[in-house]
Structure 1
Amino acid sequence: MDSNRKSSMFDGLILALQLLTTIPIRKEVPWTKQTASISVALYPFIGLIVGSITMGISLLFVEWLSLPTAVSSLFLLLCIVSLTGGLHLDGWMDVSDGFFSRQEKDRKLEIMKDSRVGAFAVLSLFFLLAGKYIFIFQVLEITEQYWFYFFIIPFFSRWMLGSSLLIGNPARKEGMAYSVQQSVIPRTKFSFLIWGPLILLCVYIVLPDFFIAAIILKVISIIILIVSFSFFNKQFGGITGDTLGTLVEGGEGILWLVAWLLLFYDIV
């Protein structure tokens, strides 16, 4: 790999970290088609980084500090939110305001662009965070292998984010999501065909006991992606940056629900 290719890969990674996390990186990265494409291709890898951090924190709270489950669950939820700086939650709230306004598509998009927060946004945020807290609490209570879910769920949520960005129809020809879509080169889409089988292969080799759980979470992620495409197209005419944030937050909430159900009914 020549030096220019290495530099582009590094710049793409830095750009993805700056866009999707609050990890403090001061380096300025040039916005080019190559760096933008590499950045999107690495979204699932960013999920693995976030997952590794949350997994480590979960082990710290539960195993080493022996905190009560209720306290560990709260701190872990705060850590998950802090790692993204509330970026995706902002999208969740904007989409909630737009959807519950029950207006026409164009009017919903205008409401989503409004910086003011409505009552529906606050209520939906409360139920989202409350749901995540409950499911995280239950997973911590049921299994000693909770760390796996803290590791793998952020991967699948960022995989859904990148996939939606690559193949979704833009609702409007402006904004961050549209700008990134216009910059992405075609072969980036191929990378997302590799990420899924690659992570499943790694789990099968390194953590075979979790292979079935990983497959189920992968299948659920695909279903979430398909359903969300239909929903966003019907309600807003396509995807926006806000719908991408909604997909990450809502998708993670559903995956935590699925993880709890798998453990509660002793499926895995």
Structure 2
Amino acid sequence: MASGFLTLISFFTRIPVGRKIMYSEENFKKSLSLYTLMGAVIGLILALIYMVFANIRITFVRGLVLTMAYVAVTGGIHLDGATDTSDGLFSGRTGDRVFEIMSDSHIGAFGVICLVMILLSQFVFFSYADMSACMMMPVVGRASLTASCYNKKYAKKTKGMGTLFVESMTLQVVAANMAILAALIIVLPNSAVLAAACFASLVSAVFISGWVEGRIGGMTGDTCGFVTEMTQIIFMILVLFLKG
């Protein structure tokens, strides 16, 4: 499990793990129960940066630094998926043409719009939210993804990096990730606000993935990134709204 968790860190972040990780499908599948915990690692880094800039008078500086830090730590992996998905799903095309657009290395107009919206949302959120909310943002995004992939199939005919992830989301894996999410909510300040925002985000993720499934017949690695980033935006908005 520990080796699998390090594999998750090496796959989905740019955090150095200190040694060469030997990939194993079995270890990867087992480690998916800790996928939300990986989000907590990212969140902890954001929380530490927040503490450094906690007393700065111009909060937009903190927002900018945290936004850049999130992109740097994650390597923009979900941002890339979100932009590709936006280009494909909003292109007006159907069938395999959607997958061709999503696989194109060039970014289109809808991808640019999506990227700007995500980064701007993060900038505003990190500028005004407290440390607990900043830490929970990547946690909620990853917990929501596990819920949204449950009982879904991989949409593409050819197998990709997201195949094992999507098709390994069993009820047990989702339950383990929800337990991690609940534990973090309980120990952090403003638990009521975080719990309400998390619940609504989880529901939103399921609806978004259902819409994606209706369009392309399932989930892919790119759509996983799309669900993660969209859910995080929903969480951000709800936290700021509920706190007033």
- CA RMSD, Structure 1 to Structure 2 (Å): 2.0
In 2, Cα distance between the equivalents of 1:248 and 1:181? 13
In 1, Cα distance between the equivalents of 2:164 and 2:177? 23
Aligned residue type for 2:155: A
| SS across alignment from 2:133 | helix
> Which residue does 2:140 correspond to in 1?
156
> Which residue does 1:97 correspond to in 2?
87
Q: Give the alignment of 1:81-92 within 5 angstroms.
A: 81-92=71-82
The answer to whether 1:58 aligns with 2:47 is no
> Which residue does 2:193 correspond to in 1?
213
| SS across alignment from 2:153 | coil
Identity rate of aligned residues, in percent? 28
Q: Which moved more, 1:84-93 or 1:211-220?
A: 211-220
- Aligned with residue 36 of structure 2, among 41, 44, 57: 44
| Matched residues, number | 243
- Aligned with residue 239 of structure 1, among 219, 233, 237: 219
Aligned residue type for 2:202: I
Contact between 1:228 and 1:247, CA under 8 Å: does it hold in 2? Answer: yes
Structure whose CA Rg is larger: 1
Residue 217 of structure 1, CA deviation? 2.2
In 1, Cα distance between the equivalents of 2:176 and 2:28? 19
Contact between 1:58 and 1:76, CA under 8 Å: does it hold in 2? Answer: yes
- Aligned with residue 189 of structure 1, among 171, 185, 201: 171
Contact between 2:36 and 2:180, CA under 8 Å: does it hold in 1? Answer: no
The answer to whether 1:128 aligns with 2:118 is yes
Residue 29 of structure 1, CA deviation? 3.1
Contact between 1:196 and 1:218, CA under 8 Å: does it hold in 2? Answer: no
- Aligned with residue 27 of structure 2, among 13, 25, 35: 35
> Which residue does 1:142 correspond to in 2?
none
> Which residue does 1:3 correspond to in 2?
none
Q: TM-score, normalised by structure 2?
A: 0.91
- Aligned with residue 101 of structure 2, among 107, 111, 127: 111
Unaligned runs of 5+ in 1: 1-8, 140-145
Residue 165 of structure 1, CA deviation? 3.7
The answer to whether 1:229 aligns with 2:192 is no
In 2, Cα distance between the equivalents of 1:196 and 1:219? 10
Q: Which moved more, 1:88-97 or 1:216-225?
A: 216-225
Residue 231 of structure 1, CA deviation? 1.3
> Which residue does 1:200 correspond to in 2?
182
In 1, Cα distance between the equivalents of 2:152 and 2:12? 19
Q: Which moved more, 1:219-228 or 1:29-38?
A: 29-38
Unaligned runs of 5+ in 2: none
Could you list the per-position Cα deviations for residues 243-264 of structure 1 after superposition, in whole angstroms to 9, with x for gaps in the alignment? 0011111111111111110111
| SS across alignment from 2:132 | helix
Aligned residue type for 1:23: I
Contact between 1:200 and 1:214, CA under 8 Å: does it hold in 2? Answer: no
Q: TM-score, normalised by structure 1?
A: 0.83
Q: Per the alignment, do residues 180 and 219 of structure 1 end up closer, same or farther by CA in structure 2, a change over 3 Å counting?
A: closer
Could you list the per-position Cα deviations for residues 75-114 of structure 1 after superposition, in whole angstroms to 9, with x for gaps in the alignment? 1111111111111111111011112210013211111011
Contact between 2:34 and 2:176, CA under 8 Å: does it hold in 1? Answer: no
Aligned residue type for 2:172: F
